[in-house]
């Protein structure tokens, strides 16, 4: 996972609804959010 701040990680996850991204990328974002506890 890229070195993103918590804020950037959440913003990236929120924008997955606006843009088309691979489901696997969304899963990576979810896992990282859970790992960080945010």
Q: How confident is the model over 1-37, as pLDDT tens digits?
A: 568 899 998 898 889 888 888 999 999 999 999 999 9
What pLDDT shows up at residue 37? 94
Would you kindly state where each structural domain of the chain is located, as residue ranges? 6-36
CB atoms within 10 A of CB 22: 9
Predicted pLDDT at 21: 85
Interior angle at CA 15, CA 12 and CA 18, nearest 5: 155
pLDDT for the residue numbered 2: 66
| CATH fit for domain 6-36, picks 1.10.287, 1.10.540, 3.30.1490, 1.20.1510 | 1.10.287
| Single pTM value for the model | 0.67
Which DSSP letter does residue 29 get? H
Query: CA–CA separation, 1 vs 13, rounded Å?
Result: 13
**The predicted structure's pLDDT at residue 24:** 93
Give the helix, strand, coil percentages of the chain, each rounded to 5.
Answer: 65, 0, 35
């Amino acid at each position: 996972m890229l070195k993103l701040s918590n804020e950037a990680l959440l913003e990236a996850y929120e924008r997955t609804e606006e843009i088309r991204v691979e489901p696997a990328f969304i899963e990576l974002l979810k896992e990282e959010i859970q790992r960080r506890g945010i």
